[in-house]
A and B are shown apart, each in its own frame.
Chain A
Amino acid sequence: MRQTVRYLRRGSVVSLEGIDPNLTLLDHLRIDCRATGTKEGCNEGDCGACTVVLARRRGDDLVYMPVNACILLAGQVDGAEVITVDDLADGGALHPVQQAMVDHHASQCGFCTPGIVMSLFALYQDGARPVERQAIVDQLAGNLCRCTGYRPIIDAAKAACAGRPADRFCAGREARLAALAEISDSEDVFLGTEARFFAAPASLESLIALYAAHPDARLVAGATDVGLWLTKKLDDIPKLIWLGRVAGLDAIVHGDGGLVIGATVTLDQAAPALGALDPDLGEVMRRFGSTQVRSSGTVGGNIANGSPIGDLAPCLIALDSTMTLRSLAGERRMPLADFFIGYGRQNRAAGEVLTAVTVPALVEGQHFRAFKVSKRFDEDISAVMGAFRIAVADGRITGARVAFGGMAATPKRAAATERCLLGARIDDPATWEGAIDMLGSDYQPLDDMRASAAYRLATARALLEKALFEIGAAPSTLTRIIGHREARP
């Protein structure tokens, strides 16, 4: 048992003892460390002004992850190197990313700039070259700038990432990997008392035992949602169990029938594997939150928090995914569609932990489509998220799983619509138009700030119609503005 959180910054190990379990990384940096280069813009993980980079060992590799420090718990940096905007310049010499930002007039008020520099620093270190414009704007989706209009920032990113990464972080790579190895161990971490603690168990057994002893504890994986309970609802969460150190939960297993995604696999790690199942799933992941959110947030967390508007759940329900839950009583599996009981309520027993999600691959004759409609394409919560798996044989629909987010209190299948679709001819809209009308009986969506109920229902219909058009051979260049399936390699 280790009673400190240890991280690396500026070449030194920092040990935190006795920190409050609710302390965020941003407050730790700005208030405790007086490292004020990192800014608080929104305090909810949406603007990116607080972006810092965590460098972690992953196998033999060193990965650089931009994260929103405002909604990350300080304890979650255990085992990582924390790099902030204050740390990049080498004496008087700016880092190449910083210099490019100056050269391209990419800052005006300068308040978003530290976060943008850090997002681009992660892109710079990523090493993939050449860096396409799309990769740059994807990297910046979680960094709001209100002054520049982004053009000079994109130009700065292109210039900074024109060559191979070659900075002092690259030069010191081996030493830093060694330093990270020094602070990595397989000890359970526990800070605090039985009544108030931050815990990071290192094994599934420790986790299950700890959770059984404290069923009132809050499990966090990425904290991209729980972080806001602290910063916005101002909840006090006395008992926090972070899953990030649990060995074995962070693996993706590729089997014959599909994927088994461990509960702490980040959205960023899962994206390529999901995208390989279907390009639309890749596009959902590209637009999911932001780079910072995908670096912290996990597949398991996105499902387990049971949000009615999570983008992944409708997709995984349409794909007939199952989840694995574990407790002292043993392991059980259930279809994901049965997990969501009602608004904010899930079918999870006390002491039970989600350990994995199994996503079946598409088989011959099955087609998948997913559409997300939001006010803004990137980094927005969907007004309507539709996901469809349609099986077609001999021109007729032989199977249909239709799931929507944003249409009910939970991500939900459209049972009546699915039944009516069976037997329709995919190339004859007259045979499935009636099924689309059934969406009105499957869903009674609500009005809110994202969209009206009427718009949601009309859009749900439009999305299913588009999916059927496309499966019936319409090229997606005729049916959508972005995310064209044909454009992908």
Chain B
Amino acid sequence: MSSAIGRPLPHDSARRHVSGAASYVDDIPEPAGTLHMALGLSPKAAGRITRLDVSAVRAAPGVVSVLTAGDVPGANECSPSIGGDPVLAGAAVSFHGQAVFAVIAETRLAARKAARLGVIDIEAAAPLVTVDAAMAAGETVLPDYAFRRGDAAAIVKAGGPVVAGELRIGGQEHFYLEGQAALAVPGEDGDVFIHSSTQYPNEVQHIVAHVLGVSQHQVTVHCRRMGGGFGGKESQASQWAALAALGAHATGRPCKLRLDRDDDFTLTGKRHDFLVRYATAHDASGVIAGHDVTFNARCGYSADLSQGVIDRTMFHADNAYYLPDVTIATRRLKTNTVSNTAFRGFGGPQGMLAIERVMDHIAQTGGVDPLDVRKANFYAAGRDVTPYGQTVSDCVTLLPLVEQLERDCDYRARRDALAEFNCSSPILRKGIALTPVKFGISFTLMHLNQAGALVHVYADGSVMLNHSGTEMGQGLNRKVAQVVAEVFGLDVEAVAITASATDKVPNGGPTAASAGSDLNGMAARNAAKTIRDRMAAVVAGMFGVSAEDVTFAGGSAWAKGRSVPFRELAKRCWLERVSLSATGFYKTPDIHWDREAAHGRPFFYFAYGAACSEVVVDTMTGEMKVTRVDILHDCGKSLNPAIDIGQIEGGFVQGMGWLTTEELVFDGEGRLRTHAPATYKIPVASDVPEHFSVTLYEGGPLPDTIYQSKAVGEPPVMLALSVFSAIGDAIASLRPGMPVALDAPATPEAIMRAVSGMRI
């Protein structure tokens, strides 16, 4: 049997997925008497509630109970950070569609119908909806914060070449296919057991305890799998679990709350949208001398995770480029819209899009190839310290990786060919772009960089694995099972994967920041090694060898040419009263961050990749098609190349959607008008080009991680910046020398605005 590590094994649940046997929260057989919940939503984006009349709701068929803010026994608060997120709005409302009351009924349809009968009178205030409105009003959820090195403003004013501009970056709805859902089952003495579709069972547990006013040990949260998360179930899952728990608490019966898709869009936070302003000085060859950028972020009505998100925008405002004198300023703006939250990349994509715009801007005005501008600005020896003081010691990966892709995808010849095409094509224009990704791995909130695991070996040699990570499709459970199988020398199928459970592994962090396998793989390995060492001692006794001589491989333990099958050894250990259960723990070493000083080493290492995209644009309608994509990405020594390639392809397409078809439209009243897939368009199969090549890069420096693999969850999203730059490249052909003012997402209408700008 070959090693479990590095094999392209299928997702642990693949067979269950395709046969409909994989169970999600709404599929779990409901305990007898289960009730269903639905929410009454605020009809206004801002104001004071003057009257809440739920008498018609109570009287509706099938209704058992109605909950309002006054019915919360503990704290009416589900914030993951500094507070400000009521479970049910009490005196005031802060965004259109905010939950004001909850209906509990015999059926879900009865609850949904009754929820629309509530009367919520609001003395409305004028809502702040847009970034611009919040900037004008000066309203923020968190203080302004900046990184500064040198004097960028002075260099920009010094009289050399400067590019300056503005970029609007849209938000993004997660659109996990499984909407938010929780089922709460009441237990004894106020205990509650919750099935939650969450990336962060530990936080759901803590918040539910806080809301119910009970101890954390009274609340148990399980999550076997999510139908997608993407950051949207990191902080955003807690409220629905808390409401289901409140329902169970109030009625003494199991309660399920599964949001309808439109409510899910309305009630849950999204990727932050931004207005970015930059002024960048560069030399004649396009090398940046000073970069002064301000990120104005729409955070929504509360802080939620915005501190970490916008900080990560700052950490990635350099992407792969050395910025000698630099100011990266941020404003965390408060609006009467849903509170924006974590989304794969966690603010990084927006920071990186802005610096890639600067690269394109320099190239377009300078009449040079954007790839040459990019390469000239890469981090390199002697130019390798980030604006926040971390030395990018692994930046040696950048140039060879990019140059390998440049060769493999035939960038230069294609560049020439499409220039020729554009000369003879008045309506359709083609563009190409090759952009790099450098993404910092670790939570910048230091205490989240920990994980726990629990491993049991049973007397028949079967293994049960539990860890603090959650499975949302990314294949984490398969990877961690491969690690445990490797430690025991077993086939991966011998390791059973179980639901993430707060009663098995407590105090875990969220499955986020791409760190799931790095953290949980190590924790599980530590747990498994503890058991393996105990088993090795038994083998040593059996064969009269030293424990150090015992190895585990091929389903047996071996020492000096003798072996014992693992299952027999397990039985032997049990008979000899040796514990076959162990916990494991891991915390990321060598990282530190002083936010006040804006200095430190927040990232354990960086992930790298690059993508080259080609597009064709219709300059009469703004329609656009991606015609070819080539990706080269560094996963270190991949734990599972099939799963890693899946993350790369999926991340790329999700990023492409964010930058092209996915547009969130709020009206002047703060109502989200794109609240379902009929109006919010994520990529479909035909949006992905037939030529979509993904290769794993080999040869870069390897980090001291689990079997030297590198994180892959988020970085590929930013590979899609190449699509956005390629669209700009196509438009740039209309008027060489003029910069393209394209905003994201590049919908047909946004493309036509940029096209019109070239014709003035």
Contacts and interface: CB of A to CB of B under 8 A. Distances in A.
A373 B621 contact: yes
B688 A448 contact: no
B625 A85 contact: no
Contacts of A465: 620
Contacts of A252: none
Interface string A113-149: 1100100000000000000010011101101111111
A46 B228 CA distance: 17
A383 interface: yes
B579 to A, nearest CB: 35
Contact of A481 (B428, B643, B649): B428
Given A107-B14, A141-B685, A146-B228, A85 B20 contact: yes
A480 B618 contact: yes
Contact of A40 (B21, B26, B112): B26
A399 interface: no
A453 B645 CA distance: 42
B652 A149 contact: yes
A449 to B, nearest CB: 4
A47 B685 CA distance: 12
A481 B687 CA distance: 12
Contacts of B752: 455, 458-459
Interface in B645-693: 645-646, 649-654, 661, 663, 665, 673-674, 676-679, 681-688, 690, 692
A284 to B, nearest CB: 15
B618 to A, nearest CB: 5
Nearest to A47: B677
A101 interface: yes
B17 A459 contact: no
Interface string B5-24: 00010110111111111111
A111 interface: yes
Interface string B166-180: 000000001111110
A108 B473 contact: yes
A36 B677 CA distance: 22
A107 B17 contact: yes
Interface string A73-114: 000000000001110110000100111011101011111111
A149 B674 CA distance: 22
A102 B686 contact: no
A381 interface: yes
Nearest to B753: A455
A108 B713 CA distance: 12
Nearest to B692: A151
B113 interface: yes
Interface in B401-443: 425-428
A143 B19 contact: no
A409 B760 CA distance: 33
Contacts of B581: none
A379 interface: yes
A42 B258 CA distance: 12
A88 B673 contact: no
Interface in A30-51: 30, 34-44, 46-47, 49
A111 B646 contact: no
Interface residues of A, number: 86
A111 B228 CA distance: 8
Given A47-B177, A149-B652, A107 B427 contact: no
A36 B116 CA distance: 27
Nearest to A456: B749
Nearest to A156: B18
B423 to A, nearest CB: 13
B642 interface: yes
Interface string B617-643: 110111111000000000000000011
Contacts of B270: none
Contacts of B621: 371, 373, 459, 462-463
Interface in A158-204: none
| A49, A86, A147, A379 — most chain B CB neighbours (10 Å) | A147
Nearest to A477: B428
Contacts of A28: none
Nearest to A42: B261
A113 B227 CA distance: 10
A343 interface: no
Contact of A105 (B10, B22, B178): B10
- List the 8 shortest-distance A-B pairs measured between CB atoms, nearest first: A37-B20, A111-B227, A109-B473, A110-B17, A149-B653, A108-B473, A149-B649, A46-B677
14 contacts: A37-B19, A39-B177, A44-B261, A98-B18, A108-B650, A111-B24, A114-B20, A140-B685, A146-B682, A232-B676, A234-B109, A234-B116, A374-B681, A455-B748
Given A105-B645, A108-B473, 15 more contacts: A42-B676, A47-B261, A84-B20, A102-B10, A102-B15, A107-B473, A109-B177, A110-B16, A110-B17, A113-B18, A148-B650, A376-B661, A449-B679, A481-B428, A481-B625
